[in-house]
Amino acid sequence: MHGLRTVHQPLPHWKHDITVSGAGCYIHIPFCAGKCPYCDFYSLPRPAEALLDRYTAETVRRLAAQAGPWRSLYLGGGTPSLLGAKRLGEILRAAEGKLLPGAEVTVECNPSSTDEALCYALAEAGCNRISLGLQSAVPEERRRLGRGSGLDRTAAATEGIRRAGIGNFSLDVMLGIPGQTEASLRATLSFCLTQGARHLSCYLLTAEEGTPFARLASAGALSLPDEDAQRALYLCACAFLEERGCPQYEISNFAQPGYESRHNLGYWDAAPYAAVGPAAHGFLHGRRFHYPRDLAAFLAGEPPEDDGPGGDFPEYAMLRLRLTEGLREDLARTRFGHGIPSPLRRAAEPLAALGLLRLNSEGVRLTREGFLLSNAVLGRLLDADSR
Ligand code: SF4
């Protein structure tokens, strides 16, 4: 399907040091105003105010027991903005003393629960980055996704973010919405850039098992774009954003230079991170762990469950290869005392000939075509390494 490409192209220079010291911290807020029909994240309908207070108090209690320092803090969900300014302020202030100077502090927000007052309160409490769920700027596509609020709410939210002095915000965009075309996708991406987004996350819509979308798809009542259409939309997003100064830096993520998500870069560099909240995953002291998807257990003070050791070379390679920078020989050598193993390099050669990755003395990195087939490509590379 692809012509032969040279295997000796230079790798791009990486300008952002992602092997910095210090861990990140992820806090999960598992409440949403409603359930989106495609979502399989752990999120519950908005509970009574008293339970939101209890959740906040338990999160603050658990944060107090964590050791920093953290170079990034990320409140995700769910819909953290649903907690409101006061509770979010309590959580952010509980973490404040554990943050390194200049730490990136992100709060995920839904436009329908994000007004100017909330933005000012977040900025006051130390938030310097907001991630806003948009999905699409096309009304018909938004309706298909079950998105209630209109674009005016998103525009009001981004205005509030700017006024509050939070110059760094990200918008989530969905690729592969039924009926989406390259033209409608470009309209959505243009809207994002016009709003002033420094960072975009573009995720492919999939019918995850157990969701209403999966049931509709299996009943033939929902038709998602086929692989060729998904490929065209993905490549369209990559090219459109690159041409406008917002290049891809990870399979699904794009940013103006210097605005890459430092918190997420930590995940892809297999850096340690603390975690708090039901369904949250963490990685500390060489061990992975997770909290069960169980609000009651979290509120009762149950500890997270151990998932065993993490951060070995195959895991590190798998995560690094999600980045456009890829797996670097020098960083691997510093971290593991050896470079990229010969079996992995040998397995990479035929994939490079297919145009799915680039390979040279500096490292290995996937191309956009490789990202589209990342599961198969990574499986081939890492399977070879384990033999
Ligand atoms: S707002 Fe986000 S987390 Fe909540 S149900 Fe929708 S997609 Fe899932």
- What distance in Å separates the CA atoms of residue 53 and residue 363, rounded to the nearest whole number? 49
Please determine, for residue 18, whether its predicted confidence score (pLDDT) is greater than 80: no
Helix (H) or strand (E) holding 232: helix 227-243
| Residue 255 · residue 4 · CB < 8 Å | no
Return the pLDDT at 8. 33
DSSP E strand boundaries for 229-369:
248-250, 253-255, 273-276, 281-284, 287-290, 305-309, 327-328, 357-360, 363-366
Residue 48, pLDDT > 80, answer yes
Query: Distance (Å, rounded) from C-alpha 227 to C-alpha 249?
Result: 22
Beta carbons of 229 and 177 less than 8 angstroms apart: no
Dist. CA 88–CA 56, nearest whole Å = 8
Contact 191, 162 (CB under 8 A): no
Indicate if the pLDDT at residue 148 is higher than 90.
no
Mean pLDDT of 54-83: 96
Relative to beta strand 31-32, strand 99-109 is unpaired
Cα separations (Å) of 211 from 134, 201, 218, 372? Answer: 20, 22, 11, 24
If you average pLDDT over residues 166-182, what whole number do you get?
96
Residues 60 and 53: their CA atoms lie apart, in Å, by 11
pLDDT of residue 57: 98
3-state secondary structure of 197: coil
| Residue 322's pLDDT band (cuts 50, 70, 90) | very high
Of all protein residues, the one whose alpha carbon is nearest to atom 3 of ligand 1 is: 78
Integer Cα distance of 296 and 72 in angstroms? 27
Nearest CA to ligand 1 atom 8: 39
Please, is 102 exposed, middle or buried when counting C-beta atoms within 10 Å of its C-beta (0-12, 13-18, 19+)? exposed
Q: Is the dihedral of CA 230, 231, 232, 237 positive or negative?
A: positive
When the pLDDT of each residue in the chain is averaged and rounded to a whole number, the result is 92
The one-letter amino acid code at 49 reads E
* pLDDT value at 386 more than 90: no
CA–CA separation, 228 vs 69, rounded Å?
45
Contact 284, 276 (CB under 8 A): no
Contacts (Cβ under 8 Å, ≥6 apart) of 207:
38, 213, 214, 216, 217, 218, 222, 224
Q: 146 pLDDT band (50/70/90 cuts)?
A: confident
Q: Give the pairing of strands 248-250 and 253-255.
A: antiparallel
Q: What is the pLDDT, as a whole number, of residue 3?
A: 28
Q: At what angle do helices 151-163 and 182-195 cross, to 10 degrees?
A: 30
Among 149-163, 273-287, 291-305, the range scoring the smallest mean pLDDT is 149-163
- Percent of the chain whose predicted confidence (pLDDT) is above 90: 88
Is-contact 8 357, C-beta < 8 A?
no
Identify which of 29, 31, 79 to mutate to test ligand 1's pocket (most ligand atoms within 8 A of the CB): 79
Domains of the chain: 23-267 (3.20.20.70)
Task: State which ligand 1 atom lies nearest to the alpha carbon of 39.
Answer: 8
Residue having the nearest C-alpha atom to atom 2 of ligand 1: 78
Confidence at residue 4, expressed as pLDDT on a 0 to 100 scale = 28
Distance 110 CA to ligand 1 centre (A): 9
pLDDT of res. 21: 59
Q: 70: part of which helix (H) or strand (E)?
A: strand 70-77
How many angstroms is it from 231 CA to the middle of ligand 1?
A: 25
pLDDT of 132 > 90? The answer is yes
DSSP classification of residue 271: -
Evaluate the omega torsion of the peptide bond into residue 341 and state whether it is cis, within 30 degrees of 0: no
Q: Name residues contacting ligand 1 (CB within 6 A).
A: 32, 35-36, 39, 41, 43, 77-79, 110, 133
Measure CA of the first residue to CA of the last residue in the chain; give whole Å.
28
15 pLDDT above the threshold of 90: no
Pairing of strands 70-77, 129-135: unpaired
Specify the pLDDT at position 387. Answer: 61
Q: What is the mean pLDDT of residues 165-181?
A: 96
* Rounded distance from Cα 108 to ligand 1 centre (Å): 11
Q: What is the pLDDT of residues 205-259, one digit of tens each?
A: 998 999 999 999 999 999 899 999 999 999 999 999 999 999 999 999 999 999 9
Contacts of 279 (CB under 8 A, 6+ apart): 28, 30, 41, 42, 290, 291, 292, 293
Q: Which atom belonging to ligand 1 lies closest to the Cα atom of 78?
A: 3
Question: Residue 126: which region, alpha, beta or left (left: phi > 0; alpha: psi -120 to 50)?
Answer: left
Token representation of residue 286? 């060489």
Give me the percent of the chain exceeding a pLDDT of 70: 93
180 C-alpha vs ligand 1 centroid, how far in Å? 20
What is the average per-residue pLDDT within 155-171?
A: 95
pLDDT beyond 50 at 17: no
For residue 13, the model assigns a pLDDT of 38
In testing the pocket of ligand 1, which one of 36, 108, 112, 134 has its CB within 8 Å of the most ligand atoms? 36
Q: Across residues 143-152, what is the average pLDDT?
A: 83
Q: Which of 120-134, 146-160, 237-251, 264-278 has the lowest mean pLDDT?
A: 146-160
Ligand 1 centroid from CA 175, angstroms: 16
Q: Which of 86, 93, 102 is nearest to 27 (CA)?
A: 93
**Residue 16 confidence (pLDDT) above 50:** no
